[in-house]
Amino acid sequence: MSRILYTKPSITELEVAYATDAAATGWGAKCYDYILKFEAGFAEHLEVRHAIATSSCTGAMHMGLAALGIGTGDEVILADTNWIATAAPIVHLGAKPVFVDINPETWCIDPAAAEAAITPRTRAIVATHIYGNLCNMDALLAIGNRHGLPVIEDAAEALGSVWRGQRAGSMGRFSTFSFHGTKTLTTGEGGMFATNDPDLYETVLTLSNHGRSRGQSRQFWADMIGFKYKMSNIQAAIGCAQLERIDALVDRKRAILGGYRDRLDDLEGLQLNPEPPDGANGAWMPTAVFAPTTGVTREALQAAFQAADIDARVFFWPLSSLDMFEDRRENIHAWDIPGRAINLPSYHDMTEDDLDRVAVVLRDTLV
């Protein structure tokens, strides 16, 4: 039996053709053609007014926070369960990330914990939709309105997820997406900034091009200190092809999660990614969380999958457990869940036999 990888991209002749065209002809006056097409198509798919293709989701977050004026002495609230990429831009801007606990059912930020952490220095709340699971956007947006705080959607892992009829990434002041090679839609590396706020869009657009505004007529004239977080035309060409296939890519991800549910729903003490109310989970990363009563540990799961020649990832460590931050052990769920959880393989061309092999490991672990 061959090794089952935890993820890999779905690349077809369409992506190859678009990338080849960009490499052959996408220069000079045509150097932005695929970028502009990708941005317009993504905004239309997301049902937002503006989108800016970036070199990474981290870059999109960095520029968005900078455009909001977040800096030294400010605080930004986010879930302790996160990848470091969500917190790093906050630190780079001189602000302080304030880590709060998660909802044990969704593994996303707990709105009550977020509101309790608000101080006079709080400037924003980041809603990270972890593994395709959705934050309670109704509650978070209401908190933001009550306190005059922008809610930012970190939708890096949530392409295809839907909250009460609205796509993940279409509800906050701005949102960010990742197109890393592990993601449902990939450009190899890359990301997207999205917003309905025209002023914020213009500021980030300027920041993304070394601080040169698009209305500036003087060549090589910068209007502010900016960044260099632009996506290449070749990457955007791959993104355009992926975007044409987005419904099929998301449907396949959801089918894989559904396949795991069909095989494992009868097991007591095992939780898989939940479906949001009146919505859909884009199912980027199917994840198994075992109840404390089962006695199943992360280490036992890693050993079992390694023995079965299956590549499985660990659940994100709480950010406050990292050496560069202060422990927040009061974030009970964020500290507890990773010790009894595992991310499951979910690449698009997994077979039914592959799903069976993964399910057998989980079942045997419970014996």
Using CB atoms within 10 Å of the CB of residue 218, give its burial: 0 to 12 exposed, 13 to 18 middle, 19+ buried: exposed
Amino acid at 345: P
**Long-range contacts at 260-264 (CB < 8 A, ≥ 24 apart):** 260/286, 260/288, 260/344, 260/355, 260/358, 260/359, 263/355, 263/356, 263/359, 264/288, 264/359, 264/362, 264/363
List residues with catalytic annotation: 183
Contact 159, 134 (CB under 8 A): no
Burial of 41 (0-12, 13-18, 19+ CB in 10 A): middle
Q: Is 289 helix (H, G, I), strand (E, B) or coil?
A: strand
3-state secondary structure of 122: strand
The Cα 87–Cα 325 span in angstroms is 10
CB burial class (10 A; 0-12, 13-18, 19+) of residue 198? Answer: exposed
How far is residue 145 CA from its own chain's centroid? 24
The token pair that represents 142 in the structure block: 């209401």
Q: Annotate 51-74 with b (16+ C-beta within 10 A) or e (fewer).
A: bbbbbbbbbbbbbbbbbbebeeeb
